[in-house]
Amino acid sequence: MHKSNKPIAGYHLLMILSSVDGEFAPEEGMLVQQYLADEFPFKMNLDNELETIALLQPEEWKDHFEFHARCFLDDSTEDERVKFAEFAKSLIKADNIVTDEEHTFYKLLKNLWNLN
């Protein structure tokens, strides 16, 4: 897998976070769109990224998530990671249900970034 830049890595992280509970809620989709608008002020074709994520099997999510968390870590400041983690928390709460899977991946992100 090729290293991703920070915005692409963030997209992968958010898409996995929003999918690990087996449902991509409309409220989560709106937050992902907000992230894309903030991170990509120009038109960006993310079809290949979405296809990569869509083809992942659930047992591959954790490794893929960890890889992109490390990519994001490499290209970000601590302040950017704290803000992203807060945004990720709002994403998993967007549908008013935080599943064990979402919480596990969120905690994994915070642990990988030493944000405890």
pLDDT number for residue 84: 97
Q: For 55-78, what is each residue's pLDDT tens digit?
A: 999 999 999 999 999 999 999 999
DSSP 59-112: GGHHHHHHHHHHHHHHT--HHHHHHHHHHHHHHHHTTS---HHHHHHHHHHHHH
In this predicted model, what pLDDT tens digit does every residue of 26-49 receive, in sequence order?
Answer: 899 999 999 999 998 787 888 999
For the chain, domain boundaries: 6-112
* Model confidence, pTM: 0.93
Indicate if the pLDDT at residue 5 is higher than 80: yes
For position 103, what pLDDT does the model report? 96
User: CB of 91 within 8 A of CB of 14?
Assistant: yes
Average pLDDT over residues 74-99: 96
Return the closest-CA partner of residue 72 out of 1, 5, 2: 5
Q: What is the pLDDT of residue 2?
A: 84
pLDDT digits (tens, 9 = 90+) for 100-113: 999 999 999 999 99
Nearest to 105 by CA among 30, 19, 39: 19
Angstrom distances, CA of residue 82 to CA of 73, 77, 78, 86, 110: 11, 9, 6, 6, 9
